């Protein structure tokens, strides 16, 4: 299987890059030949501490896990490592003479939260290409074939984006609830298809445009791999026109070619 992977990201307008709390993986872009490929995007919740770090932990753990490892195992593994991350964070703060403040403690105790979308592409020898996706929350996968949207997952309607998406918490206490709410989808891919993984603001824009009979994938596909300036320019225009909500933006584009 050969794929070209491109990724684009931006913090919300007015925020420095350090405050970007989405995450995506793999970080390496460009063409690759591989029997299987895992990709993921996640959106750290604004109203929790260390949610950007948690989002990164989730996408890395999914993408670096073996094929046999299901999302339930991946989330369990990420949760089990979180206490170690927290201990290191607290030590780091003490080393900087910035001990945890009273207003941070409740948030650290509540834990971090993020949406998560992970997909896996495969092409068994002699068979057609397959994709499978697992999601919790409103990060979305779109599949486009022959200039038509053929899959939108897990959300299919821009009106479904609210302010309370389902989230993966860092606390292992909630593992069973997370596993029960995971949504799954699978399908076939063909050379020439385009797959887009996006966090919510871009996904809502995409579905709004598609519902209006337009072709948002052309804009998403028109930006050259690694041309972050073109993506920023495009986003600035859409934000200024109030068509795109001012939020962190993440797009991972996958083009399987054979």
| Binder of another protein out of 96, 101, 128, 146 (CB under 8 A) | 101
Binds another protein (CB under 8 A): choice among 3, 40, 41, 45: 45
Single residue of 126, 127, 146, 164 touching another protein by CB under 8 A: 164
Positions in 182-241 near another protein (CB under 8 A): none
147 touches another protein by CB under 8 A: no
**Smallest distance from another protein to CB 5, Å:** 27
Binding status of residue 126 toward another protein by CB under 8 A: no
CA 113 – CA 44 distance, rounded (Å): 6
Which helix (H) or strand (E) segment holds residue 221: the answer is helix 216-221
Please report whether residue 49 would count as binding another protein according to CB under 8 A: yes
User: Which CB, 39 or 86, lies closer to another protein?
Assistant: 86
| DSSP label of 241 | T
Nearer to another protein, 111 or 165 (CB): 165
In whole angstroms, give the CA distance from residue 8 to residue 93. Answer: 31
**95 binds another protein, rule: CB under 8 A:** no
Minimum Å gap between C-beta 251 and another protein is: 19
Q: Which residue's structure tokens are 């971090």?
A: 112
The answer to whether the CB of 7 falls within 8 A of the CB of 254 is no
Positions of E strands within the chain: 2-10, 22-25, 30-33, 36-44, 113-122, 129-136, 140-145, 148-153, 168-169, 183-189, 194-198, 249-256
Nearest CB to another protein, comparing residues 164 and 224 = 164
| 96 scored as a contact of another protein (CB under 8 A) | no
Residue 165 lies near another protein (rule: CB under 8 A): yes
Residue (16 or 213) nearer to another protein, CB: 16
Check binding of 90 to another protein (CB under 8 A).
no
Residue 53 in contact with residue 42, Cβ under 8 Å? no
Tokens of 54: 């948690």
Please give the full DSSP string across 58-121, using - where no structure is assigned.
Answer: HHHHHHTS-TT--HHHHHHHHHHHHHHHHHHHHHHHHHTT-PPPTTTHHHHHH--EEEEEEEEE
Contact flag: residue 106 with another protein (CB under 8 A): yes
Site for another protein in 4-43 (CB under 8 A): 12, 14-15, 18-19
Q: Least CB distance from residue 46 to another protein, whole Å?
A: 4
* Site residues for another protein per CB under 8 A: 12, 14-15, 18-19, 45-47, 49-50, 101-107, 163-165, 246
């Amino acid at each position: 299987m050969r794929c070209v992977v491109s990724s684009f990201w931006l913090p919300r307008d007015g925020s420095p890059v350090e405050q970007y709390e989405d995450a995506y993986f793999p970080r390496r872009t460009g063409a690759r030949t591989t029997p299987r490929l895992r990709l993921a995007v996640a959106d750290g919740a604004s109203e929790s501490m260390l949610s950007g770090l948690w989002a990164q932990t989730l996408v890395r753990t999914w993408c670096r896990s073996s094929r046999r490892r299901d999302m339930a195992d991946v989330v369990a593994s990420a949760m089990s490592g979180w206490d170690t991350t927290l201990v290191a964070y607290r030590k780091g703060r003490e080393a900087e003479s910035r001990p945890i403040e009273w207003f941070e403690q409740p948030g650290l105790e509540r834990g971090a939260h993020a949406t998560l979308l992970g997909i896996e592409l495969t092409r068994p020898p002699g068979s057609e290409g397959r994709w499978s996706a697992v999601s919790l929350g409103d990060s979305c996968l779109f599949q486009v074939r022959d200039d038509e949207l053929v899959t939108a997952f897990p959300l299919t309607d821009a009106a479904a984006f609210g302010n309370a998406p389902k989230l993966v918490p860092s606390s292992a206490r909630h593992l069973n609830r997370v596993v029960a709410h995971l949504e799954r989808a699978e399908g076939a891919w063909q050379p020439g298809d385009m797959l887009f993984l996006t966090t919510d603001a871009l996904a809502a824009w995409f579905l709004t445009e598609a519902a209006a009979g337009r072709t948002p994938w052309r804009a998403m596909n028109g930006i050259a791999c690694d041309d972050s300036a073109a993506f920023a320019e495009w986003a600035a225009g859409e934000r200024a026109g109030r068509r795109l909500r001012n939020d962190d933006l993440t797009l991972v584009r996958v083009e399987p070619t054979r």
